[in-house]
Structure formats: C-alpha cells, structure tokens
Structure 1
Amino acid sequence: MRVTAIHIAPGRRLPVKYVDAVTAEAGKGLVGDRYHGARHRHVTLQAQDDLDLAAADLGLDFQPGQTRRNITVDVGPVPTKPGERLRIGDVELEVVRIAAPCRILDDTIAPGAAAALRRRAGTCFRLLTGGEIRVGDEVVPTSVEKAV
C-alpha cells in the first residue's frame, strides 16, 4: 500500500489543496490542515480502490480530493478498528473511528455521492509520532503488543 495523494484544507468548507508532502505533528495533526490541533481527528485516510467502487456505483468519476480526505492510498483495506495502527514513513497513526461521508459531497461531487461513499469514506486517525508524509511513501500496518 502506498500514498498516492495528499490533500489539506486551511478551513471548513474551504477548497482542499493537493500537496506532495506534509508535516505531521504528533498529537496535533497535519500542518496547514483544518483539523490541525483537533483533539482526536488528526488525519483521514481513504483507499483509491474504494473510491473506484463508489464512482462505479455513482456512475461518475471523481478525484480523491473531492472527498475532502487527507491521504489517499492506492489499495485497501484501510484499518477501521479503534486502536489499530499503521506507519507512513516515520509517522505512526492510530485508528480513532470510521469516517462518515458528509452530505456536502452530494453538492460538491454529485447527488448520491454520500450514499455511494458509505462504508468507503475512509478512517480517522490520531498521530502518535510526527514527521513528513510524502506521496509515494509506503503504508505499513503495525501491531500493538499487549501486556500480559
């Protein structure tokens, strides 16, 4: 699994901007993004193969940035269980919850987009460590050792 796109938006309802790389700050989020400084929702991640299925259901192609998610990877599955972790470069992320599609997508993509993205809208993560995330970075699921 590899990062294929990164998008940030400076504020709510403001257009997202494609970037080749972004600084991730542990416990804060992606520098320059509207959720930087949020308590738990630091970054959202989606899979292109899920977007392709949603586009087929919708009967309309759309770009990954139109979903307003931060990071797009080439293939899933994207972890969804709270506590699951993955690493992108030096940055470790932990699942907070599944990201629900917003009805705004019906206005920005097409009517029915939110329904087509249901269960395909990605996952919200918190940042456990900081570093740079770049397009092309490998995404690796990691396990958490449980104390016995």
Structure 2
Amino acid sequence: MIARFAQPGRLEGIWLRPERLERPVVARSAVVVDAGLEGDHGRAGKRAVTLIQAEHLPVIGAMLGQGAIDPAVLRRNLVVSGVNLSALKGRQVAVGGAVLEITGICAPCSRMEAALGAGGYSAMRGHGGWCASVVGSGEIAVGDAVLPV
C-alpha cells in the first residue's frame, strides 16, 4: 500500500534563486543538473533542489491569519500538487525529464519570521517542504507530471 498513489502529481511552479538572499525568480521551465537547477545558487548533494506542496501554502497562511502564501517568499525551487511528498521520502521521483530523490525535510530558517511575520517560523514547521538530490538530469516545465519511480 505504501507504494501506491491515487494520481500523479503536477509541477505547479518553478523558482530560481540567482543569488543567496535574493528574491526568487519565477520560471516556466528549467534544466536540472547535478548541482540543482541551472541559474539557481543551489549546490549538489542532499539539498540540490527544494520542493513544497501547493496544498500547504493555504495551511501556512491560515496559521498566520492570512490567505495562501506566495511560494516565492518561502524560497523553495519547485511547487508540486496532487501527490504527497512526505510519502516519497527516501524514494526517487520523476519530474518532467529529471529524476530526484527526496532526501529529507526542508526545515524553515529564522528568515521565515521576517518574511512571514510573527509566528512565521512556527507556521512553517511540518509544512516547509522537502529537499532532494539529483539522480538524473533533464528538462522540467510547469505542468509536468510528478511520478514516483
């Protein structure tokens, strides 16, 4: 049962962080390489790409007394809907032409308090997304399927 999913997920958004601490830039497509997304300041390894559930954006906002949070504020690379990323921990997932391995939780940092306001750090706990390493390079685009391998 743990390997079954009701439906494929969908890549809803791509954000690149050109420099550390700079506001992320939205992209319609990107190329995934060993170090993460081309044009992103990420690095190879367990945190090469970061992902967050689209379904968690309104949850975080609700905990802050707001509407859904703008994903750019959260500084994650990929926004995914329709598939439970936490159920994919330790597994490989195909996103468009790339293959990622979900390595662990992407814990919020202290900057979330400044970005989201008082309580932002706590609102993100358990909803801050996931880190992934790159298993296979390839092109991705908004609308691509997100499928367990």
**By the TM > 0.5 criterion, same fold?**
yes
Tell me whether 118-127 or 75-84 shows the greater mean CA deviation. 75-84
Runs of 4+ in 1 over 4 A off after TM superposition: none
Partner of 1:22: 30
Partner of 1:125: 132
How many Å separate the matches in 2 of 1:75 and 1:112? 27
Query: Structure 1 residue 76: deviation in Å?
Result: 4.0
Q: Which consecutive unaligned segments of at least 5 residues does structure 1 have?
A: 143-148
When the two chains are superposed, the root-mean-square deviation of aligned CA atoms in Å is 1.5
CA deviations 1:69-128 (Å, max 9, x no partner) are: 000012341136653111111211002211001110111122211111101111000011
Which residue of the other structure, out of 46, 56, 64, is the alignment partner of 2:71? 64
For the pair 1:93 / 2:104, whether they are aligned, the reply is: no
User: Letter of the aligned partner of 1:21 in structure 2?
Assistant: S
For the pair 1:50 / 2:56, whether they are aligned, the reply is: yes
Q: Does the CA-based 8 Å contact 1:24-1:30 persist in structure 2?
A: yes
Partner of 1:145: none
Partner of 1:39: 45
Query: Structure 1 residue 33: deviation in Å?
Result: 0.6
Q: Which consecutive unaligned segments of at least 5 residues does structure 2 have?
A: 1-8
Q: Does the CA-based 8 Å contact 2:44-2:133 persist in structure 1?
A: no
Distance 1:122 1:80, change over 3 A: farther
Normalising by structure 1, report the TM-score: 0.88
Which residue of the other structure, out of 84, 90, 109, is the alignment partner of 1:83? 90
Partner of 1:140: 147
